[in-house]
Amino acid sequence: MTETKAKVGPIFVVDKKDGFGERLRALCNAFVLAERYQGTVRFTWHMLGKEVEKFHAIADAKNTFSSAFVASHLINRQECDAYRFTSLKDALAELENGETGGALVVQVNQNPLERQTGGVFAKEELPELYAKAFKRIEFSQNCHNAWEHAMALPVPENFTAIHVRSGDMVYGRYRYGDDFRVKVIPYPIIEHSIVTELERGHDTVLFGQDLPLRTWLTKDNGAIVSESLGGCLGDSAEAQALHDVALMSRAQKIICGNSGLALLASMAGAVEYEQPFHAMNKHLAAEVLVSSIRRDKNTDELHPLVRAFACRYLFFLQKTAIAFTQEQFEMLDIALQNDPGNPFYSLSLACSYFEQGKVSQGDKILHELLTDDTETRANLQRILTKVHPNRRDLSVSVFLETLRKGADGESQAARFCLKTALCALGQEDPFKDTKGLDQKYKF
């Protein structure tokens, strides 16, 4: 008699090191996949470093999830590293054919499944699947109480939630680059969105960590901050985050950047979300940005880093890393006035001058950065050597061509910066015959 082996289902693993919302979005994806293919879900839970933990609601897994959920799904670093992963694309090819050839282990990220699965999941069916998957995440009693309290609060009928994301993109280290700028809506675009929603007859509620900015944004326009709906039941960061997610999940629409918490709320409540970067006319958005920044450039009520971020967003919106127009130079100048210690902005200005052939002006800026004795020089080194984790290129790759123009124009500072960046990519030093360069500039 032939013994029949029990079929082993796929294992869907979430191994994320970023923010709270992105981790839970990935867990929702994993549960959707596990439901479809009779699989199981496992996840790791990394604590963040002190530099970034103040911007994120990451507590120990035992304080975030129920003990039963942790026992069923949490794995440690060694267990995760022991897995041999199959790509989601290859796994789906096998699973859709019904023949897995043994247990599949698939790493799952937070990106929308309709984009990852090549039509296996239709966009129309996912809101219901996501909402069902979110309910499978069992939270600690503290987090559960915060969620239930938020779900019971009275809220305006058919209100619009606007997520005012700031955090480390505006106030922390990620402002030294453009990689994550899409997560944040700059304040002038939020103002425009508030006016638009109120004109449509939708009460508008502002969510997020930055209460001073949200309070300023609601001045004289009829919008309210989320605290006006009722305080959170629980004072931990993770409870407060889930309180906001619960309230946003009750909106008729969420306006947000590509921010994990806001998109998680969309999943949990099957709520439509709108991202101004994609939905708004780019010329109108640029006009709104510039006019608001000019209007507010001297107000003491707006944090300087909030203003600086909005200035740089014009470049992100217009898909350029350097300034070409007078308007772009103006915005870059205001950004540097408000965030003078930001070497990313200074590097952008120097490269803008190199592009125009004004080598001496660009060289002066970089020379001052490279001879600065403060943390600015160390931050410049991080910028020049930071390899993007997904693209596997430098975050400053957009500046390499203009740095080369500066180097060709005999800017020693540009040569040193270019050499540093290329070495970080493992490429050959193009300036081996430049005597004294490493003696003049050192990191």
CATH classification of the domain holding 94: 3.40.50
Contact call for residues 267 and 134 (beta carbons, < 8 A): yes
What CA–CA distance (Å, rounded) separates 292 from 275?
20
Packed helices 126-134 and 260-269: angle between N→C axes, nearest 10 degrees: 100
On whether residue 75 sits in a domain, the answer given is yes
Could you list the pLDDT tens digit for every one of the 443 residues in the chain?
444 445 668 999 999 988 899 999 999 999 999 999 999 999 999 987 666 666 777 878 999 999 999 999 999 999 999 999 999 999 998 988 877 656 899 999 999 999 888 888 888 999 999 999 999 999 999 999 999 999 999 999 999 999 999 988 999 988 998 888 899 999 999 999 999 999 999 999 999 999 999 999 999 899 999 999 998 877 788 999 999 999 999 999 999 999 999 999 999 999 999 999 988 999 999 999 999 999 998 888 999 999 999 999 999 999 999 999 999 999 999 999 999 999 999 999 999 999 999 999 999 999 999 998 888 999 999 999 987 665 556 667 889 999 999 999 999 999 999 999 988 888 877 776 656 777 788 77
On whether residue 365 sits in a domain, the answer given is yes
pLDDT at 272: 95
pLDDT at 7: 60
pLDDT at 32: 97
- Strand 204-207 relative to strand 224-225, pairing: parallel
Q: What proportion of the chain, given as a percentage, has pLDDT over 90?
A: 73
- Which of residues 114, 134, 154 is at a domain's end? 134
For 4, phi then psi, to 5°, come to -95, 125
pLDDT at 5: 46
- Strand 253-255 relative to strand 160-163, pairing: parallel
pLDDT at 102: 66
- Strand 204-207 relative to strand 40-43, pairing: unpaired
On whether residue 86 sits in a domain, the answer given is yes
269, two tokens? 């409540």
List the beta bridge partners of residue 43: 14, 74
Task: Count other C-beta atoms under 10 Å from residue 368's C-beta.
Answer: 14
- Which of residues 79, 107, 134 is at a domain's end? 134
On whether residue 73 sits in a domain, the answer given is yes
User: Would the pTM count as exceeding 0.75?
Assistant: yes
Q: How many domains, the chain?
A: 2
On whether residue 67 sits in a domain, the answer given is yes
pLDDT at 432: 66
What CA–CA distance (Å, rounded) separates 358 from 374?
27
On whether residue 263 sits in a domain, the answer given is no
Task: Count other C-beta atoms under 10 Å from residue 127's C-beta.
Answer: 15
Domain containing residue 97:
11-134
Distance of CA 100 to the CA centre of its chain: 35
For tokens 């890393």, name the residue. Answer: 321
On whether residue 116 sits in a domain, the answer given is yes
Radius of gyration of the chain (CA): 24
- Which of residues 134, 157, 191 is at a domain's end? 134
On whether residue 103 sits in a domain, the answer given is yes
